[in-house]
Amino acid sequence: MKTIQKITVFILLILSLVGKAQTTVIPFTLDDRDRIIRTEQKVESVKTEMISRFEAMDKRFDQFFNFLWAIIGIFTTMMVSIFGFAFWDRKLSLAPLKKDDQRIVAVLVDFAKTQPKLNEILKNAGLL
């Protein structure tokens, strides 16, 4: 019973303090209003400065991506030209060998007309 009385007294004391805390009036002066206005101006200036910095960063990123596209274009052009040159050079260097091979085959076919064993070998190889 005594504990219930102590708890109720404690709760009543706390409620009275809470009631006083809500009834206190905080004076709002002209200085406070001016301070809020100055704070808003500073926040606005910081905001505009941040926007300008982000725009500058966007321009730099655009320049960087344009540079990367140029590098990719140059690299692609180099690779295409290198592979093109390699194929062209290989084809050009193998052309005389093909002519020589055709001559050798023609000579072997002529010789095979007189040699039956060579004639059989060329038939098996599919050259006749």
Q: Which residue ranges make up each domain of the chain? A: 29-125
The pLDDT of residue 54 is: 94
Reported as a pLDDT band with limits 50, 70 and 90, residue 119 is confident
Contact 118, 112 (CB under 8 A): yes
* CA–CA gap between residue 98 and residue 103 (Å, rounded): 9
Residues 6+ apart with CB under 8 A from 113: 119
Residue 5 has pLDDT above 70, yes or no: yes
